[in-house]
């Protein structure tokens, strides 16, 4: 799409927003209901697109993308009237007689830029929240997942007029054109590098942003952990979508006394969940493209591999791989892995592990496996991270009742459910002052008695 076309699209959506049509709650409910009906209708096509782009099975596509999107719509439809309601707050005596309240109001024209790793979920979830809040939306899906982008375009075009919600496909040129426009809010999910550029461009118009980034999310295994269950859940969370998950455990940080037993359990679980030859499994996914495949294979040190390490450049597949004997200085620890490679690092004391994590950039997620509640509470309280789990991985992002997001290097802002509605909403603070009484104390000429009353009211 050309720059002039994108500019006209933004102007068209802004004109529509200014009509006030999206302020109507019934309008928003109808829009979400149409969207849900459309997703159900095209479920197979969506699943086929995800298989084409990432080789996801229909089970995984529904569990991790389609089903979660439908769940978010259901949640929003159930609560939208409550979320959109004006909320009265107490009025100070000094402002007698008034009504003070907060009025949830949509920002206006929103840009949502989504990634390729969960291309349906990470496009539709923020879109649902933005529509529920009453905004118009331009969606820019990733060029790396073309089949899913195509079905997103077809689905959204069928559900909405261009002035309400529209899709812009393409690559870097379209991204640049979009970021040069004046939006009222920008929601971006992707890498830290691109996130910085989004923030820089948004600053031109002082546009507020939500940045959902990534980082090296630690999975801490404390000495009291149930190692069998820890291994089972770590393998699930790490190798889901071939490790191409922003909240996947990036590395295991375990007590040195349990490392060998943990490795044995991890090996067992990989064989149990993926078989002896994972690359031959029809439900095992692939790396998104050759560039990322080559980057990942270059991070594998054969001398440190304890299981896996196999790859197929034709199918862009890498077997679930665990590497031992890793230090924080190794190449694999210098960047977010975003693939099916799991390094293991050990610590001597739990407090040293906490201090080390805190010396690193804030991760998007942190996982702690332990049977010691005090250890869990200590690391959750003392470490800075976006969100996480105690004795599990990644499932915290699968509930509309919990906001999802990072902070610092892993992003800013959050979404899902009420938090998502609030992300795309500006809370107007209003005082409705009554006219039947007008206290004179604030007006000149000032008097001593009024000053005494001020000290009484304002303290």
Helix residue spans in 116-226 (DSSP H): 121-132, 146-159, 172-179, 192-204
Q: Judge whether 174 counts as a catalytic residue.
A: no
Q: Judge whether 246 counts as a catalytic residue.
A: yes
Give the Cα separation of 266 and 305 in Å (integer): 13
- Work out the widest C-alpha separation in the chain, in whole angstroms: 88
Closest CA to 422 of 69, 128, 104, 125: 104
The pLDDT profile of the chain, 459 residues, written as one tens digit per residue, is 788 999 999 999 999 999 999 999 999 999 999 999 999 999 999 999 999 999 999 999 999 999 999 999 999 999 999 999 999 999 887 788 899 999 999 999 999 999 999 999 999 999 999 999 999 999 999 999 999 999 999 999 999 999 999 999 999 999 999 999 999 999 999 999 999 999 999 999 999 999 999 899 999 999 999 999 999 999 999 999 999 999 999 999 999 999 999 999 999 999 999 999 999 998 899 999 999 999 999 999 999 999 999 999 999 999 999 999 999 999 999 999 999 999 999 999 999 999 999 999 999 999 999 999 999 999 999 999 999 999 999 999 988 999 999 999 999 999 999 999 999 999 999 999 988 888 888 889 988 898 888 888 888
Q: Which of 64, 219, 242, 246 is catalytic?
A: 246
Closest CA to 254 of 215, 214, 225: 225
Q: Which of 212, 222, 265, 336 is catalytic?
A: 212
Give the Cα separation of 428 and 431 in Å (integer): 10
């Amino acid at each position: 799409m050309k720059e002039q076309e994108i500019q006209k699209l933004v102007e068209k959506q802004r004109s529509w927003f200014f009509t006030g049509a999206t302020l109507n709650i019934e309008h928003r409910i109808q829009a979400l209901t149409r969207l849900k009906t459309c997703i159900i209708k095209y479920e197979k096509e969506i699943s086929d697109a995800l298989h084409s782009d990432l080789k996801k099975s229909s089970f995984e596509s529904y569990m991790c993308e389609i089903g979660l999107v439908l769940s978010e719509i259901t949640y929003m439809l159930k609560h939208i009237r409550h979320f959109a309601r004006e909320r009265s707050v107490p009025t100070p005596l000094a402002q007698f007689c008034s009504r003070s309240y907060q009025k949830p109001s949509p920002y206006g024209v929103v840009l949502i830029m989504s990634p390729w790793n969960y291309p349906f979920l990470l496009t539709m979830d923020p879109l649902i929240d933005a529509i529920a809040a009453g905004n118009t939306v331009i969606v820019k899906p990733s060029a790396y997942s073309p089949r899913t982008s195509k079905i997103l375009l077809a689905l959204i075009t069928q559900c909405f007029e261009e002035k309400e919600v529209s899709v812009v496909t393409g690559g870097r040129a379209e991204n640049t054109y979009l970021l040069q426009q004046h939006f009222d809010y920008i929601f971006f999910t992707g890498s830290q590098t691109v996130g910085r550029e989004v923030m820089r461009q948004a600053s031109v118009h002082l546009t507020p942003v939500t940045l959902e980034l990534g980082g090296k999310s630690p999975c801490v295994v404390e000495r009291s952990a149930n190692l069998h269950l820890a291994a089972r859940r770590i393998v699930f969370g790490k190798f889901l979508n071939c490790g191409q998950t922003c909240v996947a455990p990036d590395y295991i940080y375990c007590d040195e006394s349990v490392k060998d037993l943990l490795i044995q359990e991890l090996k067992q679980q990989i064989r149990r969940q993926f078989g002896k030859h994972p690359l031959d499994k029809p439900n095992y996914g692939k790396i998104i493209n050759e560039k990322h495949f080559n980057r990942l294979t270059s991070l594998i040190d054969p001398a440190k591999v304890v299981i896996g390490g196999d790859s197929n450049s034709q199918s862009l597949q890498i077997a679930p791989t665990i590497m031992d004997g890793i230090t924080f200085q190794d190449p694999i620890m210098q960047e977010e892995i975003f693939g099916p490679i799991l390094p293991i690092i050990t610590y001597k004391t739990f407090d040293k592990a906490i201090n080390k994590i805190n010396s690193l950039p804030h991760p998007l997620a942190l996982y702690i496996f332990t049977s010691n509640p005090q250890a869990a509470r200590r690391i959750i309280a003392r470490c800075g991270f976006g969100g996480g789990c105690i004795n599990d991985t990644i499932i915290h992002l699968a509930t509309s009742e919990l906001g999802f997001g990072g902070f610092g290097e892993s992003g800013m802002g959050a979404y899902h459910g009420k938090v998502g509605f609030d992300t795309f909403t500006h809370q107007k603070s209003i005082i409705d002052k009554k006219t039947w009484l007008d206290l004179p104390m604030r007006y000149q000429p000032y008097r001593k008695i009024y000053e005494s009353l001020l000290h009484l009211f304002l303290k």
